[in-house]
Structure 1
Amino acid sequence: MNQRLAHIAVLVDDYDEAIAFYTQKLNFALVEDTALSSSKRWVLVKPKGDEGCSILLAKGVNDLQKSRIGNQTGGRVFLFLYTDDFNRDYQNLIKNNVKIIGEPRHEKYGIVAVFEDLYGNRWDLIEPAK
């Protein structure tokens, strides 16, 4: 059997503001932005250089979905962004005024810091141990 994750949906309040955050502050690539209707778009972003899973920016449209924007995991870290240069990417977060929740720390598995996206979803920035 050959399976893989293709996309992970992240609920957003506004497509354009989410695209701007991911492409301008996290330096992700905009993979696709296709209008499906007058109110729905298929928007994919992913880290540059990553050929794997992408993030589907999914606009919350009903009360239940809107209530989950920024808190899809009950306050736990939601996504894990691996990097080959922690200091470069951490400094980029600071330069772009991305909210840092936890200062960098060394763990057995590597260097890690927790940050929030524009809606409050928590991410780990990780440079894995060699």
Structure 2
Amino acid sequence: MSRLGAVSLLVRDYDEAIAFYVGKLGFDLAEDTDMGGGKRWVTVRPKGGETALLLAKATTPEQVARVGDQAGGRVWLFLETDDFARDHAAWTAAGVAFREEPRHEAYGVVAVFEDLYGNAWDLIQPAGDAA
């Protein structure tokens, strides 16, 4: 059996990224291990989720240039929820920037939001999931 364990996300600073993903989005801090030399192994994941985000501190000029633009401005990650209204309201109150109003599509309720660096995400409640 195979599974996607983690996806790396370039960040400027470990602690500011943890504050956003754990503090604003309510993700769990799965691991924060000091690797020495200023490097840490930091993973966060949505509550109840399996796949983690590996928060990778940008260290080269090329990496720094990609922080907030890992997908060239396109929506890059798709976060499914079982209660869109709950999460949208909580995140809006926490200061998360949504690029649009929620919309109903054939696949569910969706709105694009930005992480702390400007990467675009979809928050989606798939069609058929109870609100």
Q: Same fold (TM over 0.5)?
A: yes
1:3-82 correspondence to structure 2 within 5 Å: 3-50=2-49, 52-82=50-80
Q: What SS does structure 1 have at the residue aligned with 2:72?
A: coil
State the TM-score, normalizing by the size of structure 2.
0.96
Instruction: Kindly state the Cα deviation for residue 107 of structure 1 after the two structures are TM-superposed.
Output: 0.2
Deviations 1:43-88 (A, max 9, x none): 00001111x2100000000000000000000000011110000000
User: Within 2, Cα distance between the matches of 1:74 and 1:19?
Assistant: 23
Q: Which runs of 5+ in 2 are unaligned?
A: none
**After TM superposition, which residue ranges in structure 1, 4 or more long, deviate above 6 angstroms?**
none
Q: What SS does structure 2 have at the residue aligned with 1:90?
A: helix
Deviations 1:30-51 (A, max 9, x none): 000001112100000001111x
Q: What SS does structure 2 have at the residue aligned with 1:87?
A: helix
Q: Which runs of 5+ in 1 are unaligned?
A: none
Question: Percent same amino acid at aligned positions?
Answer: 57
Q: What SS does structure 2 have at the residue aligned with 1:22?
A: helix
Give the alignment's Cα RMSD to 1 decimal: 0.6
User: Within 1, Cα distance between the matches of 2:109 and 2:115?
Assistant: 19
Q: Which amino acid aligns with 1:98?
A: V
